[in-house]
Structure 1
Amino acid sequence: MPIDAATALAAPPRTTDLAWEHKDVLLYHLGVGAGAHRPATDPDELRYTYEKDLQVLPSFVTVAGGGLAKAGAFSLPGLDINLAHVLHGGQRIELHRPVPPAGKAVLTSNLAALYDKGKAAVLVMRSEAADAEGPLWTCDTEIFVRGEGGFGGERGESSRVTPPERVPEWEREVPVRHDQALLYRLSGDWNPLHADPDFAKLAGFDRPILHGLCSYGTALKAVVDMVLGGDASRVLTYSTRFAGIFFPGETLRVRVWDERTHLVITATSVERADAPVLADSVLTFV
C-alpha cells in the first residue's frame, strides 16, 4: 500500500515513559569508546566512566530509556513500510538543559515531516522528552525508505553542509575497537547486522558494520574533548547525515571547522582513503 501522507501526518502524538540510571550512561560511554585510548583512570576520561562527577554525553539521548525505538515510527497509520528498505538517514538532537546521569522523563513523539524524494520517502520523527522540571531534549530522526516515493508530497529542502575550503582547526584520529559494536549494542540496538557475520553477508557486507549512532557518539565525544574542553554540557545542538558505513577496528578521522556561530564536522574512515562516514554535521554550543 502506498504511503498515505495525510493520515500519517495527522496521527496524534504518542507518549511513553523513559527511565535511566548511572549504569546506563556509563555503558553508553564505554560503547562510544570512552576510556579506551588514554589511561583508564585519566581524570578527563573518568568524567565519562566513573559515577563520581559523571557528565552525560548528549548523544546518550538516542538510547536513553530504550532509545529511538520508543518513537514508534513504523506503526503509524498511513505507513505500510517494508523494514528491509529502511535506512537511518540522519539525526539531530537539541538539548534544552544538561541531561542528568539518572532520571525519568515522558517522551512525546510524532511524525514531524514526510518528504517525497521520487524514488524514496523520507520520514522525520520528532521525539521530545520532559521531566518534572520541564523540557530536556528534542530528537529529530530522519528515516530514508527506498521505493516509497511518488506519493505526491513535498520534496523538502536540502540540508547539505559543505566544509570550508581550508585546513580544519581541529583534527583527531580515533581508533575504534574491534569489539565496539558488540559493546554498543548492549545499550539497546540489537540489530544482528552489527554482530552476526552471516547476517551481514545477507545484507551485502563482508562483515558486521558499526552502528551509525555509535559513530555519531564517537565523533561527538572527540569534538567535546578537542573543542569544548571536555565539557559535554556546552552542547546545544548536534546534527548529522549518515553518509557511509564504518567497520569496527577501523580508525575514525574527525575534522572540525570553526565557523564562529557553529562547528562543521566530518568523520571518515582512515583505512578506506577517507571514505565518508558522517557528513553535513553541525554542532552549536555555549
Structure 2
Amino acid sequence: MPIDAAKALAAEPRTGDISWTTKDVQLYHLGIGAGIPATDPGELRYTLESRLHVLPSFATVAGAGAPGVISGLSLPGVEVELAKVLHGGQTLEIHRPIPAEGTATATNRLAAVYDKGKAAILVLRTEVADADGPLWTNDAQIFVKGEGGWGGDRGPTTRLEPPAGEPDLTVERAIREDQALLYRLSGDWNPLHADPDFAQHAGFDRPILHGLCTYGITLKAVVDTLLGGDVSRVRSYSTRFAGVVFPGETLRIRMWQGEGSVRVAVSAVERGDAPVLADTVVQHS
C-alpha cells in the first residue's frame, strides 16, 4: 500500500528554523492581489515597508515552513504520485500577530491519516514559535485520490450547515492571468499551477490557481471589509477547498457576520458560481 498509516504517524516530527523578511511579506501580499489601487492607503499597509502589517494567512508560506502538497509526499510511509494529490482544506490558528520579519522554529508532523474509501486524507500540522512563544498552528488537509480503502478511521466531518439568509456583504475579486505564476514565488512550486502538460496529466485543461492563493485573497477581503482592515483581530481561519479556480476568472466572496465570526462562501463567477471555498469560517476578536 503506497500509504502506510502506522509508519507515517509514528515518524518523528521534523523541526527546523525558518525566517522571513518584509520583502517576503510584500511578495506574498502581491501574490494574493494586494496593491490595487497602488496608492490606496488601505493597500499600502500590505505593500509599503514603513506601514507594513502581515495578513495572518502569510503563515502558510512563511519561511517555506508549512508542509504543503509536495513536502507531505516525502514523509515516511507516504509514497504517492503527485498528480493524484490535491489540497483538500486548511485550518490556521493565530496565537498572536505575525511580525513583519522574524526567525522562528517550525515543527512539522503528520497529525492524522483518514481513510475515505476512494481516497486518503493526510493532515499535516505545523507549529511555529519564536523566542516569545507560540505564533501559529497550521493544519493542511491533503487529499490523495485512489489511496483509501484499507479500513482505517474515516475521520471527522468538516461539513457545516449553509449560512442562513442572504449574505451581509458580497464582493468580487478579479484573478490576474499571471496570479499563479506570481503566487508560486512565495514557495509553492507544484507544477500543477504553472505547467500546462502537468495540469493535463492531472486532469485539468490548463494550470489552476493555488488553493492557498484563493485562501489568502478571501481572508484579505474579510479583513479589509468586515474587520476594519485590522489583521490583529483574526484568531483562526478554516476552509474546505470545494473546487478549482483558473487564472483570469473572478471570485465572488459572500460573507455572513456572526458573534465573533464570519462565515464565507466563495465561487467562480464565470462558471455559474461554481463553488471554490466552502465551510469557511474566520474567528475574530
Q: TM-score range by the shorter chain?
A: over 0.9
140-149 or 258-267, which deviates more: 258-267
Q: Where does the alignment leave 5 or more consecutive residues of structure 2 unmatched?
A: none
Q: Deviations over 1:91-132 (max 9, x none)?
A: 011000000000001100111111111111111111000001
Superposed structure 1 runs of 4+ greater than 6 Å apart: none
Q: Name the SS of the counterpart of 1:228 in structure 2.
A: coil
| Alignment correspondent of 2:220 | 221
| Alignment correspondent of 1:237 | 236
The within-5 A match list for 1:34-49 is: 34-36=34-36, 38=37, 40-49=38-47
Structure 1 position 250, deviation (Å): 1.0
Over 3 Å counting, the alpha-carbon distance change for 1:67 and 1:250 in structure 2 is farther
Contact 1:163 / 1:264 at 8 angstroms: preserved in 2?
no
| Alignment correspondent of 2:60 | 62
Distance 1:47 1:256 in 2: 23
The one-letter amino acid of 2:177's match is H
The one-letter amino acid of 1:3's match is I
105-114 or 191-200, which deviates more: 191-200
The one-letter amino acid of 2:264's match is I
The within-5 A match list for 1:166-245 is: 166-245=165-244
Contact 1:47 / 1:53 at 8 angstroms: preserved in 2?
yes
Matched, 1:50 2:48: yes
Q: Where does the alignment leave 5 or more consecutive residues of structure 1 unmatched?
A: none
Contact 2:65 / 2:106 at 8 angstroms: preserved in 1?
no
Contact 1:19 / 1:105 at 8 angstroms: preserved in 2?
yes
Contact 2:245 / 2:268 at 8 angstroms: preserved in 1?
yes
The within-5 A match list for 1:86-97 is: 86-97=85-96
69-78 or 250-259, which deviates more: 69-78
Contact 2:171 / 2:252 at 8 angstroms: preserved in 1?
yes
10-19 or 74-83, which deviates more: 74-83
Q: Name the SS of the counterpart of 1:97 in structure 2.
A: coil
Q: Name the SS of the counterpart of 2:270 in structure 1.
A: coil
Contact 2:115 / 2:149 at 8 angstroms: preserved in 1?
yes
The within-5 A match list for 1:274-285 is: 274-285=273-284
The one-letter amino acid of 2:150's match is F
Distance 2:118 2:16 in 1: 33
Contact 1:3 / 1:151 at 8 angstroms: preserved in 2?
no
Matched, 1:165 2:164: yes
Contact 2:67 / 2:140 at 8 angstroms: preserved in 1?
no
Over 3 Å counting, the alpha-carbon distance change for 1:192 and 1:8 in structure 2 is closer
Normalised by the length of structure 1, the TM-score is 0.95
Contact 2:67 / 2:125 at 8 angstroms: preserved in 1?
no
184-193 or 210-219, which deviates more: 184-193
| Alignment correspondent of 1:4 | 4
Structure 1 position 159, deviation (Å): 0.8
Contact 1:112 / 1:126 at 8 angstroms: preserved in 2?
yes
Distance 1:47 1:2 in 2: 46
Normalised by the length of structure 2, the TM-score is 0.95
Distance 1:279 1:231 in 2: 24
| Alignment correspondent of 2:32 | 32
Contact 2:3 / 2:79 at 8 angstroms: preserved in 1?
yes
Structure 1 position 187, deviation (Å): 0.8
Structure 1 position 261, deviation (Å): 3.6
Contact 1:58 / 1:235 at 8 angstroms: preserved in 2?
yes
Q: Percent identity, please.
A: 64
Over 3 Å counting, the alpha-carbon distance change for 1:231 and 1:241 in structure 2 is same
Distance 1:191 1:74 in 2: 12
Distance 1:213 1:262 in 2: 20
